[in-house]
Amino acid sequence: MPSINRKILEQVIKASAEPLVIVRVDHPDWPVAMSNKAFESIGGEDTRNKPFADVIEQLVGRELALEISETVRARQETSFPVEAGGREYLLALRPLPLSGEEDVRFYVAFWRGGSGAGAVAGSDMHHALLNAKRRIRDLSRDDPVTGLLNGRAFREVLEHDWAVAAREKGSLGLVLFTLDDFDAYIDVFGRHAADSCLRRVGRAIRRCLRRASDVVGRLDGSELIVLSHAANEEGVREFASRISAAVRELGLHHPRSTVSKFVTVSFRVSVATATKNSASAESFINELLSGVVDQQ
pLDDT tens per residue, range 95-136: 888 766 667 788 889 888 754 333 444 455 555 555 555 554
Whether residue 54 lies inside any domain: the answer is: yes
Q: What is the dihedral of CA 30, 233, 163, 97, to 10 degrees?
A: -10
DSSP secondary-structure letter at 153?
H
One domain for residues 227 and 97 = no
Query: Do 115 and 13 fall within a single domain?
Result: yes
Q: How buried is 158 (Cβ within 10 angstroms: 0-12 exposed, 13-18 middle, 19+ buried)?
A: buried
pLDDT tens across 176-213, in order? 999 999 999 999 999 999 999 999 999 999 989 877 77
Using the 3D structure, point to which of 107, 141, 175 is the last residue of a domain: 141
Domain-located, residue 295:
no
Nearest alpha-carbon partner for 295 in 209, 215, 236: 236
- Residue 85 belongs to some domain of the structure: yes
Residue 146 inside a domain? The answer is no
Dump strand ranges (E) for the chain. 20-24, 32-35, 78-84, 87-95, 106-112, 171-179, 215-218, 223-228, 265-273
Among candidate residues 119, 141, 163, the one where a domain is terminated: 141
Q: Report the predicted TM-score, pTM, of the whole model to 2 decimal places.
A: 0.72
Q: How far is CA 236 from the centre of its chain?
A: 17
- Domain total of the chain: 2
CA distances from 1 to 29, 41, 77, 108 (A): 18, 27, 21, 15
Same domain, 238 and 280: yes
Domain end: 141, 164, 193, which one?
141
- Asked if residue 198 and residue 123 are part of one domain, the reply reads no
**Assigned domain for 117 exists:** yes
Neighbours of 103 (CB within 10 A): 13
Which CATH number does the domain housing residue 63 bear? 3.30.450.20
Residues 110 and 188 grouped into a single domain: no
**pLDDT surpasses 80 at 246:** yes
Q: 29 is in which domain, residue-wise?
A: 3-141
Residues 135 and 253 in one domain: no
CATH number at residue 231: 3.30.70.270
Has residue 71 been placed in a domain? yes
